[in-house]
Amino acid sequence: MQAKKMTHGLKKLTSAIKFSHLAYAGLIAGQVISHNAQAAPEGGVVVGGDGSITAQDLTTIIDQKTDLLAIDWDSFNLTEEELVKFLQPNSSSIVLNRILDQNPSTIRGAIESNGHVILANPRGVLFTETATVNVGAITAAGLDMDSSGFMNGDFSFRGQDGSTGVVVNRGLINAASAVLVGKQVTNASSGLISADMVSLAAADEAVLTFDTDGMIGVKVTKEVMENQLGIDSAVLNEGAIEGAQVLMDAKVSGGLFTSAVNNKGTVLARGIDTSGGTIRLTGSGSAVVNSGTLDASGSNGGQVTLDGDSATHSGQIVARGSSGQGGQVKVLGDTVTVSGDIDARGRAAGGEVLVGGDYQGKNERVRNAETTVVTAEAEIDASGIGDGNGGRVIVWADDSTHFAGSIRAESGVLGGDGGFVETSGKVNLHLGEATMSVSTLSLAGGDTGTWLLDPGWLEIMADADCTENCVSVVALAAALNNNNVTITVSASETDPVNYSSTVDDASGNAAVNENNPDYSNGILVSSDLSWDSGNTLTLTSHNQVQIAANVTIDAVSGANAGHLAVNADGDFTNLGSVLVSDFSLDLGGSFVNSGIVSVENLNLNVGNTGADTFNTLGDITVSTSGTVVGGSGTDTVDTVDGITWTLGTVDGSASAAGIDFSNIEQVDTANAIVDGSSNGVTEAFDLTDGTLNVLGIDFTAAAEAKAGAETDDSVTSNATSWKLVGNKSVTAGAVTFSGIDSVTTNSATLNGTANADEFSVDGSGTITSYDIQFSGFSVVNAGANGVGKDTVDTIPDGLTWILGTVDGSASAAGIDFTGIEQVDTANAIVDGSSNGVTETFDLTDGTLNVLGIDFTAAAEAKAGAETDDSVTSNATSWTLVGNKSVTAGAVTFSGIDSVTTNSATLNGTANADEFSVDGSGNITSYEIQFSGLSVVNAGANGVGKDTVDTITDGLTWTLGTVDGSASAAGIDFTGIEQVDTANAIVDGINNDIAESFDLTDGILNVLGIDFTAASEAKAGAETDDSVTSNAASWTLEGNRSATAGAVTFSGIDSVTTNSATLNGTDNADEFSVDGSGNVTSYDIQFAGLSAINAGADSGGLDTVDASGADIQLNGADGEARVRNIDFTGIEEATNGNLVTSNNGDRFVVTGADSIKA
């Protein structure tokens, strides 16, 4: 790109006036002037209004009395010496000179007036080089005007078919308003028109217009339909025109003229004050051409407009503001070509130059070109002067723009900012990089301006060999040294639009041919680009912006770090590297970084069209600050694995990699760390199907979620498995939460740590562990641990724990626990009644253990219908409750089959209890077998008897010292009332108390205990051990021993009975009868006997000592009666009074004091 030296000189008006006849002007004159034309106006007749016509020598005077005057002339020609003078009431008075001559009118002389003079000759009007017109206003028309219409205020002109209608000025016209209108109008090279308002118009029909200041113009109402002379230009200026407003307008039928308006001369427009004036060259049906000079300079620049079917400028246009702002220049048409100079500089600020349209073709009031060409020769300058800001230059085309010239919109050297330049083709842009130059510099250190390139698509590439829509990195880097450059691509209605770019090759480059006009993916950077001016490159696309693979944009390696801005309706894709200071993006689509981004500041807006976006941050480094803002759709962000996302305070806000995100909805970062520990906000996490949501953001692959020190940080989830990690920390699926206060889920499992875990459960099933409250869990698996116990406590006392089937398993409050080792529930109910497993309870020191679980404060323990449910315990006291139910300490067991303890006491119920004792000392009561008991306290009861049975016959019962006390099989019973031991041995030998046995109906009672099947009853060495009995028969067994029924008593001192028979032994028995009838034998005193059968003996004599009582013989051998006791088998009676029977007793005296009967 080469810089060109631009020149801005404007020749003085006087030097621009040409007095030589150009060939073209001479041709016109020859065609419109009759060789037989007569001098002086002739045949004038007033046909409207009031006035007079006077001819005096070479002067014709028209004296007008009314504001409107209409005159028909047979001819109207002037020689060089002749003068026509109009005397009019005032400057607004109008006179219509309607010329009926069949030849054109030729004005070589002078015309003067103080008002408005209209010359209307459909055959043509020519002002020669000698002509002078000095009037208030002049309208020279090659058209006709109706006189009566004129008098009625209708100032319309109409052409006549077959007439040339040409108006040519080669002379001098001086007026307030000057109008030349015809089928062709020329201001020849010698012509000079000076007026406040100058109008040159080519038309077949037109109408005069009057503004508020009385300035007269013309409005074309019908295009020129014929060109009899074959002239190239409908309106041609080759001379000089001075005015405040200069208007050249032509409407022609297509193809009649090469150009509708053509300026080859000089036009100078100055405003009423010192400001620049207005110059307008407009045409319809053909081209508007300027190869001359159009100057609207002033203190403030004026306005210059070229507007035609095509517009070509190869001359010089000046709208400079000497003290104010530069003016406005417009070169407009369907096709626009600029190869000349345009100067719109201004001291206050540069002006505005519009070539082919306004900014991006969006101004409906400004015509857009289809094709615009700015050649290498063109120089456009809208710079500021002094301390003025740069102006605005637009080069636009709806289709194609070819730009190879030079444009400046710089600031002044004393101050100001650079301006704005756009060189754009909506579809195609061709850059002549060898000659083009654009500068929006601030020459005084202000802000650099912007250069905008805006085709339908564009590639930034290594060279500029392409024919369209590309710019080389060399040219772009050079431009960035002088400008902020904006490249904008916009969708064309005729262009194919593809809103999803595809990557087709392994390098990652988009499938784009260098010169493919169908490429509509936007902007592609396919070669390395670097600059160090500190300026900004802006890439704006209707669709995609892409950095190709292995391509680097580097604006940080030089002295001044540059900036990159991307605005795209679609995606931004980086497959290369972006190294800039400030990186801003405003995207309708997604940000996809598959390469490297390293910036100081990042500002990214995605999804601004409302579309869903899928953003990949990739390898991105932001050293100072960054922001990403999502749109109204669902905006998804992906980053490198394991990156930390710091949560914000409002929905959709978070920070990662030094970037603040807002209004995003999804993050796909693998193993993302979601950190809310420092935002001061209560986190409400939701984990559904593995996706973590917080602040309205879905983290689809989070690894950690951190809450802060708030007390209400929560997780809601459908995760079915959770694992405790530590204090306020828990894992679900792939996500580990920390700082959490509560978790709410449904039918989930909570797994413990490898340490000793503690769980607290309330009545609603809410679990608290490690300062986390868990709701909706159905299973807790405490797991195995090395030290300590996994413990559960419950807030409500008396909670029921339903035992499982394996060690450590139980359920409470709707939760199944496994792997637990301790439950601290106060008054816990431990229920194994329905698990189908034989319970083995252990109650040690008040702690109930079952299935490996210690229930430290159980109140109940329930077994099921199994036959082997057991309790092992060191409890010293047990109390029977009912069938299979017993209490030890605070624990009441039910459904129990056996209890094993050591030296414990078993207490009976308040009812009649039954105890069964086997030979090993095991006791069964209420279907419970107790082992290891040392004491059974049957207790008191109101109905029935507390009964003991023994499985082993002949078991010895050692009597205690108080009622109901006895021992058997190593067990001390108290409070018992009956013993059903078969052949029980009731032993009172060692209890050191006098036994009082009662044997009634075969039942032995002693110490209040009924022994229903005793075989022995033993008394001790006491002297008053006794038996009371209703047994009818007793048999002496030996010293202090006797048998009644099935019971053999020993150690007995007395027996009390009623009318019983005492049977002697096989030995020599001795019976002593006292005065009360009591019989003593073998140291036993029997009371209430009615008979004694001494029986047969093997040796010795069965003897009765009557103790002084009568011994009455019964008449049979060995029979006698002593104190109402019938003795049989007696062989000796002593110490009594012998009384004979009635049977003739025989007595033999055997010795002293001895008689044998």
Stretch (H or E) spanning 29 = helix 23-32
231's CB contacts (< 8 A; 6+ apart) are 28, 166, 184, 257
Residue 1150 pLDDT: 52
Give CA–CA dist 943/920, Å, rounded. Answer: 30
Residues 238-244: what's their mean pLDDT? Answer: 97
| 216 close to 208: Cβ distance less than 8 angstroms | yes
pLDDT exceeds 90 at position 628: no
Tell me the mean pLDDT in the region 309-323. 96
Q: What share of the chain is helix, strand, coil (3-state, %, to 5)?
A: 5, 50, 45
Task: Give the rounded percent of residues in the chain with a pLDDT score beyond 70.
Answer: 91
- pLDDT digits over 1043-1061, tens only? 888 888 888 888 889 999 9
Q: What are phi and psi of 360, to 5 degrees?
A: 55, 20
Measure the CA–CA gap between 389 and 344, rounded to whole angstroms.
12
Higher pLDDT, 518 or 897: 897
Q: What is the pLDDT of residues 178-188, one digit of tens each?
A: 999 999 999 99
Q: Assess whether pLDDT exceeds 80 at residue 493.
A: no
The yes-or-no verdict on residue 497 having pLDDT over 50 is: no
Q: Which residue has the higher pLDDT, 665 or 509?
A: 665
Residue located via tokens 């008006």: 13
What 3 state SS string does 983-1034 have? CEEEEECCCCCCCEEEEECCEEEECCEEECCEEEEEECCCCCCEEEECCCEE
* CB-CB contact of 303 with 328 (8 Å): yes
The whole-number pLDDT of residue 915 equals 81
Tell me how long the chain is.
1157
Q: Which residue has the higher pLDDT, 1113 or 147?
A: 147
Query: Which pLDDT value is given to residue 1004?
Result: 86
Quick one: pLDDT at residue 492? 56
Share the mean pLDDT of the chain.
Answer: 86
Could you tell me the end-to-end alpha-carbon distance of the chain, in angstroms, rounded to an integer?
Answer: 177
pLDDT in tens, 244-299: 999 999 998 888 889 999 999 999 998 767 778 999 999 999 999 999 999 999 99
pLDDT at 332: 97
pLDDT digit string, tens, across residues 52-87: 999 989 999 999 999 999 999 999 999 999 999 999
Please state, in angstroms and rounded to a whole number, the distance separating the CA atoms of residues 620 and 1114: 138
What is the DSSP annotation of 736-790? EEES--EEEEEEEEEE--SS--EEEE-TTS-EEETTEEEEEEEEEE----SSS--
User: In 3-state terms, what secondary structure has residue 491?
Assistant: coil
Q: What is the distance of C-alpha 285 from the center of its chain? A: 60
Q: Which of 321, 324, 323, 291 is nearest to 306 (CA)?
A: 291
Distance CA 294, CA 406 (A): 19
- Predicted confidence at residue 1144, as pLDDT, reads 58
**Position with higher pLDDT, 1151 vs 688:** 688
Helix (H) or strand (E) holding 603: strand 596-605
Residue 1155 pLDDT: 56
Q: According to the 3-state scheme, what is the secondary structure of 687-734? A: EECCEEEECCEEECCEEEEECCCCCCCEEEECCCEEEEEECCEEEECC
pLDDT of residue 26: 43
Asked whether the beta carbons of 1155 and 1138 are under 8 A apart, the reply is yes
**How many other β-carbons are positioned within 10 Å of the β-carbon of residue 394?**
27
What is 793-807 written as a DSSP string?
EESSTT-EEEE-SST
Indicate the SS3 state at residue 26. helix
> Start-end ranges of CATH 2.160.20.10 in the chain?
18-34+47-238
**Cα 50 from Cα 147, distance rounded (Å):** 13
Residue with tokens 């749109």: 631
Could you tell me the two tokens for 834? 């329905």
Kindly state the greatest CA–CA separation across the chain: 236
Mean pLDDT over 303-332 rounds to 96
Burial of residue 532 (number of CB atoms within 10 Å: 0-12, 13-18, 19+):
middle
Contact 338, 374 (CB under 8 A): yes
Backbone dihedral angles phi then psi of residue 1102, each to the nearest 5 degrees: -80, 120
pLDDT of residue 850: 87
Neighbour tally for 103: CB within 10 Å: 18
The two three-digit tokens of residue 411, written as one number: 């600031």
* Rounded average pLDDT over 646-661: 90
pLDDT of residue 952: 80
How far is it, in rounded angstroms, from Cα 764 to Cα 266? 99
Higher pLDDT, residue 341 or 1015: 341
Whether residue 10 is predicted with pLDDT greater than 60 in this model: the reply is: no
pLDDT of 331 higher than 80: yes
Digit-coded pLDDT (tens) for 946-981? 887 877 888 888 888 888 888 887 888 888 888 888
Read off the pLDDT of residues 1101-1125 as tens digits, 9 standing for 90 and up. Answer: 889 998 888 888 887 888 989 898 9
Q: Which residue has the higher pLDDT, 121 or 430?
A: 121
User: Rounded to an integer, what distance in angstroms lies between the CA atom of residue 341 and that of residue 331?
Assistant: 12
* 836-883 pLDDT tens trace: 888 888 888 988 888 888 888 899 888 888 888 888 888 888 888 889
Specify which of 198-202, 227-231, 820-824 reaches the highest per-range mean pLDDT.
198-202
The correct answer on CATH 2.160.20.10 for the domain covering 18-34+47-238 is: yes
* Confidence class for position 1012, pLDDT limits 50, 70, 90: confident
pLDDT on residue 1113: 85
Tell me: pLDDT of 684 over 90. Answer: yes
User: Hey, which residues does 898 pair with through a beta bridge?
Assistant: 870, 929
d(CA 178, CA 118): 10
Q: Give yes or no for a contact between 163 and 123, defined as CB atoms under 8 angstroms apart.
A: yes
Residue 438 burial (CB < 10 Å; 0-12/13-18/19+)?
A: buried
C-alpha to C-alpha distance for 872 and 836, rounded to whole angstroms: 20
pTM of the shown model: 0.64
CA distance 287 to 133: 30
Task: Report d(CA 303, CA 317) in Å as an integer.
Answer: 10
Q: pLDDT by residue (tens digit) across 1068-1100?
A: 889 899 988 898 889 888 999 899 898 876 677
Structure tokens at 439: 């500068």
Q: What is the pLDDT of residues 564-598, one digit of tens each?
A: 999 999 999 999 999 999 999 999 999 999 999 99
pLDDT, tens only, 695-716: 999 999 999 999 998 889 999 9
CB–CB of 1063/1034 below 8 Å?
A: yes
Hey, which residues does 117 pair with through a beta bridge? Answer: 95, 138
Tell me the average pLDDT across 446-471: 81
Structure-block tokens of residue 124:
């043509």
pLDDT at 791: 84
Is residue 551 within 8 A of residue 594, CB to CB? The reply is no
Helix (H, G, I), strand (E, B) or coil at 883: coil
For residue 388, give the DSSP letter.
Answer: P
Question: What is the per-residue pLDDT for 965?
Answer: 85
Assess contact for 203 and 143: CB atoms under 8 A: yes
Checking if the pLDDT of 515 tops 50, the result is no
List beta partners, residue 1137.
1110
Report the share of the chain in percent with pLDDT over 90. Answer: 44
The confidence score (pLDDT) of residue 1 equals 40
Rounded-to-integer distance, Cα 376 and Cα 432, Å: 8
C-alpha 46/C-alpha 49 separation (Å) is 7
- For residue 514, the model assigns a pLDDT of 35
Selection from 902, 1003, 903 nearest residue 947 by Cα: 1003
- Identity of the residue numbered 972: D
Residue 1157 confidence (pLDDT): 59
Q: How far apart are CA 1020 and CA 1155, in angstroms?
A: 40
Collapsing DSSP states into helix, strand and coil, what is residue 32? helix
User: What confidence tens digit (pLDDT) does each residue in 595-626 have?
Assistant: 999 999 999 898 888 889 888 888 988 988 88
Cβ neighbours of residue 897 closer than 8 Å, sequence gap 6 or more: 863, 866, 867, 868, 869, 870, 884, 927, 928, 929
Q: Shortest CA distance to 704 belongs to which of 662, 724, 726, 732?
A: 732
Residue 867 CA to residue 859 CA, distance in Å, equals 22
Q: Residues with Cβ < 8 Å from 1049, sequence gap 6 or more?
A: 997, 1016, 1017, 1018, 1019, 1027, 1041, 1042, 1043, 1055
